[in-house]
């Protein structure tokens, strides 16, 4: 399924198992490959057909100092605001492997190509993108 990627298989597996928690007024947890009715409702309410769950934390899955991660995430928030994009705070957290949770945003209405470009710009290995079916997909970027 993910052959040909530069990303180690165990890292991909961790991404697949991670819980992508969306905060805001209608919190939900996104899981790769599982349609999410709350996400579908968020899409409908926002009049969008897609969304992306992205982070600026820990580029290429290399742990950074917490202060550096916070700076990167604040810069991402500014970028999203400048582009006029709506987003909801969240956190990506593996349920068992001990990797610290990564602050993230669910960006509403971010088309797949734009989401990939943003993730690449942020130095990320992958993003989680959902189309009209509100089924989160892991999208590898390398």
Task: Please report the beta strands in 9-142, taking only residues with DSSP state E, as ranges in sequence order.
Answer: 19-22, 28-30, 51-54, 86-93, 102-108, 126-130, 137-140
Alpha carbon distance 23, 88 (integer Å): 7
Domain boundaries, given as residue ranges, for the chain: 17-140
pLDDT digit string (tens) for 30-76?
A: 999 999 999 999 999 999 999 999 999 999 988 899 999 999 999 99
Q: List the one residue out of 79, 77, 72 whose CA is nearest residue 58.
A: 72
pLDDT digit string (tens) for 62-112?
A: 889 999 999 999 999 999 999 999 999 999 999 998 888 999 999 999 999
Q: Are 109 and 50 in contact (CB under 8 A)?
A: yes
For 37, the enclosing helix (H) or strand (E) is helix 37-46
């Amino acid at each position: 399924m993910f052959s040909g990627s530069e990303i180690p298989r165990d890292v991909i597996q961790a991404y697949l198992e991670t819980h992508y928690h969306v905060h805001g007024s209608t919190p939900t947890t996104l899981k790769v490959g599982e349609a999410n009715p709350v996400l579908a409702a968020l899409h409908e309410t926002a009049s969008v057909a897609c969304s992306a769950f992205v982070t600026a934390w820990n580029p290429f899955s290399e742990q950074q100092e917490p202060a550096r991660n916070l700076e990167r995430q604040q810069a991402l928030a500014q970028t999203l605001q400048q582009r006029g994009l709506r987003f909801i705070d969240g956190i990506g957290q593996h349920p068992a492997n001990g990797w610290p949770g990564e602050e993230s945003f669910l960006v509403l209405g971010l088309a797949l190509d734009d989401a990939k470009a943003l993730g690449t710009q942020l130095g990320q290995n992958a993003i989680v993108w959902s189309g009209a079916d509100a089924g989160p997909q892991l999208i590898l970027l390398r």
